[in-house]
Amino acid sequence: MSYTPAFQDIAHLAHAEIYTPKIEESAAFFKNILGLHESGRTENSVYLRAWGDYAVHTLQLTSAKTSGMGHMAWRTRSAAVLENMVAYLQANGVAGEWREPEFGQGRAFRFATPDNHPMEIFYDIEKFKSVGDQIPGYKNLPQRFSPHGIAPKRLDHINLLAQDVTACREFFNKMLGLRVTEQIIFDGGAEMGGWLAATIKSYDIAFTKDRSSAHARFHHLTYAMDSREDVLRAADILTENGTFIETGPHKHTIGQTFFLYFYEPGGNRFEIGSGGYLIFDPDWKPVVWNEQERKKGQAWGLQTVSTFHTYGTPPVEE
Amino acid sequence: MSYTPAFQDIAHLAHAEIYTPKIEESAAFFKNILGLHESGRTENSVYLRAWGDYAVHTLQLTSAKTSGMGHMAWRTRSAAVLENMVAYLQANGVAGEWREPEFGQGRAFRFATPDNHPMEIFYDIEKFKSVGDQIPGYKNLPQRFSPHGIAPKRLDHINLLAQDVTACREFFNKMLGLRVTEQIIFDGGAEMGGWLAATIKSYDIAFTKDRSSAHARFHHLTYAMDSREDVLRAADILTENGTFIETGPHKHTIGQTFFLYFYEPGGNRFEIGSGGYLIFDPDWKPVVWNEQERKKGQAWGLQTVSTFHTYGTPPVEE
Amino acid sequence: MSYTPAFQDIAHLAHAEIYTPKIEESAAFFKNILGLHESGRTENSVYLRAWGDYAVHTLQLTSAKTSGMGHMAWRTRSAAVLENMVAYLQANGVAGEWREPEFGQGRAFRFATPDNHPMEIFYDIEKFKSVGDQIPGYKNLPQRFSPHGIAPKRLDHINLLAQDVTACREFFNKMLGLRVTEQIIFDGGAEMGGWLAATIKSYDIAFTKDRSSAHARFHHLTYAMDSREDVLRAADILTENGTFIETGPHKHTIGQTFFLYFYEPGGNRFEIGSGGYLIFDPDWKPVVWNEQERKKGQAWGLQTVSTFHTYGTPPVEE
Amino acid sequence: MSYTPAFQDIAHLAHAEIYTPKIEESAAFFKNILGLHESGRTENSVYLRAWGDYAVHTLQLTSAKTSGMGHMAWRTRSAAVLENMVAYLQANGVAGEWREPEFGQGRAFRFATPDNHPMEIFYDIEKFKSVGDQIPGYKNLPQRFSPHGIAPKRLDHINLLAQDVTACREFFNKMLGLRVTEQIIFDGGAEMGGWLAATIKSYDIAFTKDRSSAHARFHHLTYAMDSREDVLRAADILTENGTFIETGPHKHTIGQTFFLYFYEPGGNRFEIGSGGYLIFDPDWKPVVWNEQERKKGQAWGLQTVSTFHTYGTPPVEE
């Protein structure tokens, strides 16, 4: 087979399934405070989307004993690419299995990252169709803007903890065609973080070093807003509603994104973000940050809060 | 009596009563789209306030046969100032009458501007007390920020049409102590607009020349937001909900405010605004704009839409 | 040959050459008021870039008898794609010629759009290397942010007038692989505008109907900023420096971009813009706007200024 | 004498004299990075103002052996108020002396706060007159907006350290008529901070408890910008130019202001801020924050950096 995964063969991060021990509290939070929209429910899951997401869901909340990520899913740019990519994965020793169509998506191939995070690739997707007073006058948007709660615009990216960042970064680069945009490499050569993009965005997924001994932990999922003012407004909404803000709003040096991290009622970390840069140069070389540079903290000097380096879901048992 | 009205003896614009032939539609619009809060109702009126207003109401919607302004009201800085100012008005030939306490305010003195707009001055006011999930963590704000609809922060200013701008401007300056901040004086000397402030803001009330033969017409009432991004966001909300935007968002040269004008369901013009400048100089001399300068349009060259010069409420019968 | 141009084979709009009869005034304007940086000069041209552009130039100002566009240039995603695309163009009857390397770029293939706009595709590019106090601490940006003048971040898109919008739109779609994102099709079927993207942005080039009889006219070139606040700030800078603002700041319904149009000293229209949407859906279907919808004006109801439909450069001789 | 200082008898904070052991580096920083304008020099001082300040200076940098505040100055609302207030101060045992006119101001009465900070009150002031290309088209602004560096709009407020916050707060309230807007009172009753306003702003001066044994120390001086986006932009400019940012951008719960603190080359802390609230209620009661509430950190949970509580200028000798 002559197929090799190329940049942009993965079209975009499609959705993530997040476990929560408090499904009703989590769902109420995402609907009332965050302002996401519920698209449907199954026995154990609630499906949600932002007003600007074109798919029927970008977040699947699933009732579970603990927090953490059930799986994440990526959409390929075509049905043919999906078949080719699965064949390529299998030819390169990546075990996996096809799964039947589920809520919002057609058949999908499920496999695992080198750190064992469950993930899927698929092509067939159910698109959101607005009805009634959701129908936008701005026909180039999937839904009328809904000014309720934080109201982020769309799913943006995911961040996962991993024991071997290099292995995960190489896996996404070589097996799925993502572009490596930035890296943290400490003195001695340990890769502490790797950022990759399926698109011309500065990143769609990041892997950072898990400082515990756990595998397959989830760091955060991010919804994007159009302006930094929106993120500052979100901070007030979260604060006034008693949601714990772990850190931010502040700016990441890496990716140039404006961030705000908080924990949803089920214990998972989420981010409201804005900005970043677009990479037009097809020859982009990864920007590598060393240990000394990272000690400077975030963009404007804020030292990274320690839990940001240690807290992941599910929590590590002690 | 030695009292003469001084700058800042009027503390602020307190509220306006606006007539609407569609009281329920107007009330629903202000609550659902604008995001104001209902404080109470009487037989013919609905009382509303923005989340950042300290008083129980800043807007009184009153059911009437036509649109227009029922009255506007100003709060004095003390009870003593109220008594002195009423005495001063009466001593200077301004007819008026004391009215009994009403919803949200104590006894008030009602009189008319030289163009016959009904207005009141009063001191005793009912302040908003937040309860339950309205109670803010930010104790220096009257209410928890309510992220629903446009959600302006507070009442800002009022604009009235008048046959004799000079008379109205002088009345507010001499009888009530407001500071004249800016003026439009055309070639030949006709004063086409006058802006006055009860505070260090660039204005709290404006009078502009009524080009019809009517008296006592209402031009617009403005609610303020903290950022221009908020006003741009408001424009999308209004557009997507089918509200007619007359002009804006754009920037006024006069007052340096960022504006957005629309008509509420009862036909009255309202504004969502932001910005302006603060006047710290106690010797401020009014800035006078001539006819040539006004022909340049608004700050960035947008020609003022013709209805802005002609439409007022109630409409003129033909 | 089996090659067919695919979406994203053109990596991005690289630069445009703009003619000006006032080269020194134009250059001074772009440097002092806009805040672009001069990268070099040749006998007849001045080469400029924004602080966030990775290439040594995105704008070439060339001294000429009149205003208008000299040519525009696109970078392919690889050297191989360049060769394949040129072969494909030639095989499909598109005449053109290879040109020797010039300032900032390697050899390029020059040809014409169906409306006769000169254009080039190329791959080899000279990248900007910051020196001295231009070197950014934010290593993922090409240059330290230079807070002087308007200071846009990067080149964004180009808009050209054409007699046959359909022909141009199809040419860019089929010959160069660009995605058609939005269209205006009037009653009777005339295509009045077509927007296409080389990337996941809402557009990188637009063609709009030339209402004069001229060919190959230039409508505008756009530099992007990160926020709408930046565009509002730019409006003040232009106004205070006496630059004619044709229209804006306001929001386009099409593309969802926030715009500000002005004429540089040589008479060419430029835009400072922000925003837009990203298209993640690989199956995107063009959004088609009809005549009735376009009569509503821009996003918030501002009627499109008439010169926007008629003014292009070079001007039409009468 | 019947005069008692009333709210708004002090019109505004006029300027501050800041000592710096590196006068040329400090002056260059304020001009090139901050974007202030030099109005003049005397033997030991450089006088600066922001583009929106109406006076010829709001900052006097004076060459000295150490950092710290030389004095601060307030303008009264009239010449008569100045005379009355001085008489009132003297009648109430406040020692002081009249000083001859200096750069930018007429005669002034100099005295000391209870913590011994030197301060002046005066009325006659030299106003800035724009010339040449500084002349604004926006005639209601003192100068054309100068898009160079951070370019704050105007002086906003000052913060001083004091051994006895209560004494200083009462002094400003009773002797100068400022309104007490907010306070921090710890368990046991110690007043750790007091905020006062000469205007309807949320504050113009703050006193916070000096945790060293020093007197008359300076905490920071603040220049204001119109938007939070401006403050975020300032953070990038400072960061890219190697200026130490102590904390922020973030939001204060107290005063609702958006802050960014940094140290200028002479070692003094300055702030770039935006926002806050306006107090229209003439009956405003101070908002009191207790120890528990302050432990929550700033508005969105950022713990106050320890140096913010300990660093003042001049530094304490050990």
Taking CB atoms and an 8 Å cutoff, what residues of chain A touch C182?
A: 140
Compare CB distances from B229 to A136, A145, A227 and report the shortest one's residue.
A227
Q: CB B282 to CB D254 under 8 A?
A: no
DSSP 3-state of B305: coil
Across the range B244-249, mean pLDDT stands at 96
Q: Please report, to the nearest 10 degrees, the dihedral formed by the alpha carbons of residues C268, C274, C279, C285 taken in order.
A: -50
Burial class (CB in 10 A: 0-12, 13-18, 19+), B92: exposed
Tell whether the model's pLDDT for residue A262 goes beyond 80: yes
Residue percentage of chain A with pLDDT more than 90: 96
Compare CB distances from A245 to D228, D238, D301 and report the shortest one's residue.
D301
Across the range D14-42, mean pLDDT stands at 98
Q: How far apart are CA C84 and CA C123, in angstroms?
A: 12
Taking CB atoms and an 8 Å cutoff, what residues of chain A touch C156?
A: none
Q: Considering chain C, what is the average pLDDT of its residues? A: 97
Please name the residue of chain A whose CA is at the shortest distance from the CA of residue C81: A282
The model's pLDDT over D246-277, given as tens digits with 9 standing for 90+, comes to 999 999 999 999 999 999 999 999 999 999 99
Residues 244-263 of D with CB under 8 A from A: 244-245, 247-251, 258, 260
| DSSP code per residue over chain D | ------TTSEEEEEEEEEEES-HHHHHHIIIIIS--EEEEE-SSEEEEE-TT-SBS-SEEEEE-SS-EEEEEEEEESSHHHHHHHHHHHHHTT--EEEE--BTTB--EEEEE-TT--EEEEE--BPBP---GGG--SSTTSSS----BSS---EEEEEEEEES-HHHHHHHHHHHH-PEEEEEEE-TTS-EEEEEEESSSBS-SEEEEE-SSS--S-EEEEEEE-S-HHHHHHHHHHHHHTTPPEEEEEEE-SGGGEEEEEEE-TTS-EEEEEEE--B---TT-PPEEE-HHHHTT-STTSPPPPHHHHH--BSPPP-
Report if residue C46 sits inside a domain: yes
> Please, where are the H alpha helices in chain A?
23-28, 79-91, 165-176, 228-240, 291-294, 306-310
Q: CB A250 to CB D249 under 8 A?
A: yes
Helices (H) and strands (E) in chain A, counts: 6, 17
Distance from CA of D315 to the nearest CA of B (A): 33
Please count the other Cβ atoms lying within 10 Å of the Cβ belonging to residue B102. Answer: 18
User: Distances from the Cα of B252 to the Cαs of B259, B308, C236, C242, in angstroms?
Assistant: 7, 13, 11, 17
pLDDT score recorded for residue A81? 98
The model's pLDDT over B157-171, given as tens digits with 9 standing for 90+, comes to 999 999 999 999 999
Q: Considering chain B, what is the average pLDDT of its residues? A: 97
pLDDT score recorded for residue B97? 98
Q: CB A11 to CB C127 under 8 A?
A: no
Tell whether the model's pLDDT for residue C318 goes beyond 80: no
Q: Which of A36, A233, A258, A272 to mutate to test the interface with B (most CBs of B within 10 A)?
A: A233
Q: CB B136 to CB A230 under 8 A?
A: no
The model's pLDDT over B56-68, given as tens digits with 9 standing for 90+, comes to 999 999 999 999 9
Tell me whether B293 touches chain A (CB under 8 Å).
Answer: no
- CATH number for B241: 3.10.180.10
Residues 54-93 of A with CB under 8 A from B: none
Please name the residue of chain C whose CA is at the shortest distance from the CA of residue A199: C200
The set of residues, in sequence order, having a beta carbon less than 8 Å from that of A106 and lying 6+ positions away, is A122, A123, A124, A125
Report if residue A204 sits inside a domain: yes
Across the range B89-116, mean pLDDT stands at 98
Q: CB C299 to CB B235 under 8 A?
A: yes
Is C21:C66 a contact under the CB 8 Å cutoff? yes
Tokens of B74: 């100003």
Tell me whether D31 touches chain C (CB under 8 Å).
Answer: no
Taking CB atoms and an 8 Å cutoff, what residues of chain D touch C240?
A: 136-138, 144-145
Max mean pLDDT among A302-316, B179-193, B300-314 falls in: B179-193
Residues 153-192 of A with CB under 8 A from C: 154, 181-182
pLDDT score recorded for residue C147? 96
Q: How far apart are CA B233 and CA D135, in angstroms?
A: 33
CA A94 to chain centre: 22
Q: In chain B, what are the helix, strand and coil shares in percent, each to the nearest 5? A: 20, 35, 45
A-B CB pairs within 8 A amount to: 43
Domain that holds residue C37: 10-126+151-308
Taking CB atoms and an 8 Å cutoff, what residues of chain C touch A78?
A: 282
Tell me whether D134 touches chain C (CB under 8 Å).
Answer: no
pTM over 0.90: yes
Tell whether the model's pLDDT for residue D1 goes beyond 70: no
Report if residue B102 sits inside a domain: yes
Residues 203-232 of A with CB under 8 A from D: 227-229, 232
Across the range A173-197, mean pLDDT stands at 98
How much is the CA Rg of chain D, to the nearest whole Å? 19
pLDDT score recorded for residue D2? 87
Compare CB distances from D227 to C145, C147, C229 and report the shortest one's residue.
C229
Report if residue A142 sits inside a domain: no
Domain count, chain D: 1
Tell whether the model's pLDDT for residue B241 goes beyond 90: yes
pLDDT score recorded for residue A73? 98
Report if residue A50 sits inside a domain: yes
The model's pLDDT over D181-204, given as tens digits with 9 standing for 90+, comes to 999 999 999 999 999 999 999 999
Taking CB atoms and an 8 Å cutoff, what residues of chain D touch A228?
A: 228-229, 232
Tell me whether A32 touches chain B (CB under 8 Å).
Answer: no
Tell me whether A11 touches chain C (CB under 8 Å).
Answer: yes
Distance from CA of D52 to the nearest CA of B (A): 9
Taking CB atoms and an 8 Å cutoff, what residues of chain D touch B181?
A: 140
Tell me whether B293 touches chain C (CB under 8 Å).
Answer: no
Q: How far apart are CA A121 and CA C314, in angstroms?
A: 51
Tell whether the model's pLDDT for residue A124 goes beyond 60: yes
Distance from CA of D256 to the nearest CA of B (A): 8
Across the range D227-240, mean pLDDT stands at 98
Distance from CA of C292 to the nearest CA of A (A): 13
Q: Considering chain D, what is the average pLDDT of its residues? A: 97
Nearest to A218 by CA among A120, A297, A113: A113
pLDDT score recorded for residue B2? 87
Report if residue B38 sits inside a domain: yes
Q: Considering chain A, what is the average pLDDT of its residues? A: 97
Per-residue exposure over C132-142, b if at least 16 CB sit within 10 Å of its own CB, e if not: eeeebbbebbb
Taking CB atoms and an 8 Å cutoff, what residues of chain C touch A139?
A: 287, 289, 293
- The pLDDT-based confidence of A318 (bands split at 50, 70, 90) is low
Tell whether the model's pLDDT for residue D299 goes beyond 80: yes
Report if residue A3 sits inside a domain: no
Tell whether the model's pLDDT for residue C1 goes beyond 70: no
Tell me whether D142 touches chain C (CB under 8 Å).
Answer: no
pLDDT score recorded for residue A1? 56
pLDDT score recorded for residue A12? 98
- The pLDDT-based confidence of C288 (bands split at 50, 70, 90) is very high
The model's pLDDT over A49-96, given as tens digits with 9 standing for 90+, comes to 999 999 999 999 999 999 999 999 999 999 999 999 999 999 999 999
pLDDT score recorded for residue D160? 98
Please name the residue of chain D whose CA is at the shortest distance from the CA of residue B254: D140
Taking CB atoms and an 8 Å cutoff, what residues of chain D touch B8?
A: 8
Q: CB C287 to CB A139 under 8 A?
A: yes
Tell whether the model's pLDDT for residue C199 goes beyond 60: yes
Residue percentage of chain B with pLDDT more than 70: 99
Report if residue A273 sits inside a domain: yes
Please name the residue of chain A whose CA is at the shortest distance from the CA of residue C139: A287
Please count the other Cβ atoms lying within 10 Å of the Cβ belonging to residue A101. Answer: 12
> How much is the ipTM here?
0.97
Burial class (CB in 10 A: 0-12, 13-18, 19+), D126: middle
Tell whether the model's pLDDT for residue C285 goes beyond 80: yes
Q: CB A8 to CB C12 under 8 A?
A: no
Compare CB distances from D12 to B139, B253, B280 and report the shortest one's residue.
B280
Compare CB distances from A282 to C78, C200, C253 and report the shortest one's residue.
C78
Tell me whether A136 touches chain B (CB under 8 Å).
Answer: yes
Taking CB atoms and an 8 Å cutoff, what residues of chain D touch A296?
A: none
pLDDT score recorded for residue B110? 98
Tell whether the model's pLDDT for residue B318 goes beyond 70: no
